[in-house]
Amino acid sequence: MTSNTTAASVRIEIIVDVPIERAFKVFTERFDRIKPREHNMLGVDIAESIFEPRGGGRVYDRGVDGSECQWGRVLAYEPPTRILFTWDISPRWQIETDPTRSSEVEIRFVAEAERRTRVELEHRHLDRHGDGWQGLAEGVRGDQGWRLYLQRFAAATC
Amino acid sequence: MDGWSALADPTRRTILELVALRPRAVQELADELPVTRPAVSQHLKLLKSAGLVVDRAEGTRRIYRANPAGMAALRAQLDRFWSQTLANFKQLAEEEEEQT
């Protein structure tokens, strides 16, 4: 896996030894299995993460109590080569309700051989989230904010 | 040192909060905190190496402020998040492929 991160984007690519159709299908249909669970914005454990496979679809987590947290909107669904969705999560890992402050995630699938696919992920326009330090300065006040933030970070890096 | 290790220390968090509110010189920070000026300098050095603050010279003083780019920590988090997602994806896809 290689990652190539620039000022306002994160880019990662990976090679998987499966055909392109299969790679696309696993990514979109099994999103629940591949998305790390650590970043949970629901008050309860996540039962399932859902990627709705169509333009205009939602990307959301469903809690064990049935509550839902939508954190993305599908902008493009083009099997088996491309998906594009918004990232409506602020730098403090809270839902961003202002769509102008969302970044976006594009995933491209490129067939390298019959059973070999390159998957390129780009999370871009991070600058649209605005100045992260504004949130940081708020979070810094009070240990509760910090403890949560650091706990989330520690969980994400395990 | 990365941003998160840098922020594990409460004094450094306080320093970052102070310079995020407005730019300050080393002595100003030392005046507001129960630590010595050399200790403040040391903390600022670490915060700077983590990309969390930037400084500029003003006469003989150095003025520190929170890094306005401010995205280093976010990028590091997202890089980890997506790396983990893709690693999970590769494992699952290839496992299932073997079974077919």
Dihedral sign of CA atoms A82, A77, A38, B47 in order: positive
pLDDT tens track for B15-42: 887 887 789 999 999 999 999 999 999 9
ipTM of the complex: 0.77
Please report where in the chains the tokens 């997506």 appear, as a residue: B82
pTM: 0.66
The mean per-residue pLDDT over the stretch B55-68 comes to 87
Nearest to B50 by CA among B34, B27, B69: B69
The mean per-residue pLDDT over the stretch A125-137 comes to 62
Enumerate residues 6+ apart whose C-beta is below 8 A from A17.
Answer: A115, A116, B94, B97
The mean per-residue pLDDT over the stretch B58-63 comes to 92
Nearest to A154 by CA among B1, B5, B12: B5
- Closest-CA distance, A65 to chain B, in angstroms, reads 25
The predicted structure's pLDDT at residue A134: 45
pLDDT tens track for A96-128: 888 888 999 999 999 999 999 999 999 998 878
Burial of A143 (0-12, 13-18, 19+ CB in 10 A): exposed
The mean per-residue pLDDT over the stretch A52-74 comes to 95
User: Other CB atoms closer than 10 Å to residue B52's CB: what's the count?
Assistant: 27
The predicted structure's pLDDT at residue A6: 56
The predicted structure's pLDDT at residue A37: 77
Q: For chain A, list residues whose CB is within 8 angstroms of any CB belonging to chain B.
A: 1, 3, 5, 7-8, 10, 12, 14, 16-18, 22-23, 26-27, 30, 33-36, 39, 91, 105, 115, 119, 121, 123, 126-127, 129, 131-133, 136-137, 140-141, 146, 150, 153, 156-157
- B53 pLDDT higher than 70: yes
pLDDT tens track for A13-58: 999 999 999 999 999 999 999 988 766 778 788 899 999 999 999 9
Enumerate residues 6+ apart whose C-beta is below 8 A from A33.
Answer: B88, B92
Kindly give the residue spans of alpha helices, DSSP state H, lying in B1-100.
Answer: 3-6, 10-21, 26-32, 37-49, 72-99
The number of angstroms, rounded, from the C-alpha of B96 to the middle of its chain's C-alpha atoms is 40
The predicted structure's pLDDT at residue B1: 57
The predicted structure's pLDDT at residue A91: 73
Determine, for residues A22 and B74 on separate chains, whether the beta-carbon distance falls below 8 Å.
Answer: no
The predicted structure's pLDDT at residue B16: 82
Determine, for residues A119 and B67 on separate chains, whether the beta-carbon distance falls below 8 Å.
Answer: no
